[in-house]
Amino acid sequence: MNISIRQLTAFIKVADNGSFTRASDQMHLTQSAVSGLIKELESSLGIVLFDRTTRQLSLSAVGRHLLPQARRILNEMQLFENEASSLTSLAQGQVRLAVSQFAASSMPAVIAQFAKEYPEISVSLLDCSAENVLEHIQNIEVDLGVGTELEFMDAEDDISADLLYQLPFCVVMPDSHALARKSEIVWQDLIDTPLITLQGPFIEQVTAELDERIANHIQQARYKVNFMSTALEMTRQGFGITLCLPYMPEVIDWVSANGLQMRPLTQPVKMRRFFIYQRSSRALSPASIAFKHFLQGYFATHFDDLQNI
């Protein structure tokens, strides 16, 4: 059996596009050449990868099963090429990074600073949902991942995590709000106050280990949105108050400039931890090692003040 990278690439492109024509355009080959590659692959394997009709092209049951394996093989080859290239010089290489929502907000600034010190190292950024960070690492689609501890709870043994930074949960409210006059704001103060919260894992982390009454109040918030920018603007417009993490200096500046206050919540003080993830069984390339060390140094310098607002 002699399976080529070109055959696997053709398999993936045709599967993704559902069309030989579009796949051939992306591969810069003729349609007949791509069709030939698929036929060669099917002949080598002794199986049918696509169900073909006059109107439709779709993956066969076997094709759907094998497609993730084909992606993994090509990702392995890309990783091999990247590591071989970066070994020649630290001034060259590529870093592939997956980040969840809150981490993604601060990452462009980090990458911009990194590029000034390592202009020949390319950093690609994949922003995704929190639960997908580890999946991209496990599938070798990225070298490093940055996200919260929630992702790590269900991680495989092959994933290692290093604490990157931690931030306190805060409440954001208008300057005119009654809570803004208090010297200390505790979680119980949120009872009977309209809340604006983010949907998804954010709520689970907020309410963990809180008193049942306040946890239920947060879980049943009057408004639930997808983006922190929406929650902050709704707070500014007087819909209620929102829970937030001080994940960027720009966010704190925006809050202050728009007649709002951000205050940490106490009793208890709750922190959300962010980690940098990688596969334990796979050595990082010199370029990825350089970026990881830079990332750790950046957050150690820039986030100390945010942990104690």
With a cut of 80, say whether residue 223 has pLDDT above it.
Answer: yes
Does pLDDT of 254 surpass 90? Answer: no
pLDDT band at residue 282 under the 50/70/90 scheme: confident
Instruction: Answer for the pair 8, 14: CB distance below 8 angstroms, yes or no.
Output: no
Q: What is the pLDDT of residues 226-238, one digit of tens each?
A: 888 899 999 999 9
Strand 170-174 and strand 260-266: the pairing is: antiparallel
Q: Which of 209, 129, 212, 109 is nearest to 169 (CA)?
A: 209
Q: Which class does domain 170-269 fall in?
A: alpha beta
Q: Tokens for 139, please give them.
A: 């599938």
The enclosing H or E element of 40 equals helix 31-45
Write the pLDDT tens digit of every residue in 130-173.
778 888 888 888 999 998 875 555 555 688 999 988 888 999 99
Which are the contacts of 39, defined by CB distance < 8 A and separation ≥ 6? none
Question: And the tokens for 225?
Answer: 């949105």
Percentage, residues of the chain above pLDDT 70? 89
Name the CATH topology of 89-166+273-308: D-Maltodextrin-Binding Protein; domain 2 (3.40.190)
Cβ atoms 1, 44 nearer than 8 A: yes
Predicted local distance difference test score (pLDDT) of residue 190: 94
Q: How many helices (H) and strands (E) would you count in the chain?
A: 12, 13
pLDDT of residue 65: 93
Question: Within 13 Å of residue 220, how many CA atoms lie on the same side as its CB?
Answer: 9
**260, 177 Cβ separation under 8 angstroms:** no
Phi/psi at 305 (5° precision):
-70, -30
Determine the pLDDT at residue 222. 92
pLDDT tens digit sequence for 58-74: 999 999 999 999 999 98
Q: What is the spatial distance between Cα 148 and Cα 151, in angstroms, rounded to a whole number?
A: 6
pLDDT value for 91: 52
CATH number of the domain at 5-73, please?
1.10.10.10
Q: What integer is the mean pLDDT of 24-43?
A: 93
Peptide bond connecting 249 to the previous residue in cis, omega within 30 degrees of 0: no
Yes or no: say if 284 and 304 are a contact pair by the CB < 8 Å rule. Answer: no
pLDDT of residue 47: 93
Residue 102: name the closest of 139, 60, 150 by CA. 150
Q: Which residue has the tokens 């720009």?
A: 250
Read off the pLDDT of residues 77-117 as tens digits, 9 standing for 90 and up: 887 777 666 555 555 678 999 998 767 777 888 999 999 99
Six-digit token string for 155: 């991680």
Segment 175-195, tens digit of pLDDT? 999 999 998 999 999 998 999
Q: Where are the domains positioned within the chain?
A: 5-73, 89-166+273-308, 170-269
Cα(51)–Cα(29) distance, rounded to whole angstroms?
Answer: 22
What's the mean pLDDT when you consider all of the chain?
86
Q: What is the pLDDT of residue 283?
A: 82
Average confidence (pLDDT) over 258-270: 93
Inform me whether the pLDDT recorded for 75 exceeds 90.
no
Distance CA(206)–CA(222), nearest Å, equals: 16
Could you tell me the pTM of the whole model?
0.61
pLDDT band at residue 281 under the 50/70/90 scheme: confident
Same fold, 5-73 and 170-269: no
